[in-house]
Structure 1
Amino acid sequence: MTVHGRKYPFGDYAQSMHDVLLVSSFAIWAMLLGFAPVMTYRLLMS
């Protein structure tokens, strides 16, 4: 959803910031889901 117009002059900035935060949240979840089993395995095997 992109907002254009004089009523919302910062719409493009807000949209790009929203996109960055959305991608970052997916990256953080991917890291957590990827590292959790590895760290659990390492802790159990040590």
Structure 2
Amino acid sequence: TGRWTAEEHERFLQGLREHNKQWKLIADLIRTRTVVQVRTHAQKHFQKMAR
């Protein structure tokens, strides 16, 4: 809940590299976030990257 920690974000990036956009697998890797939270985080992440 709330802000993502640096560690969670690192795991997110690692999951993205390893599993592409398979949110369930990424959520399993992070462990502290749900699939919905991972997907929402990804949307925001990609929006930032697109700027």
TM-score (norm 1): 0.39
* Greater relative CO (CA pairs within 8 A, separation 6+): 2
What TM-score do the two structures reach when normalised by structure 2?
0.35
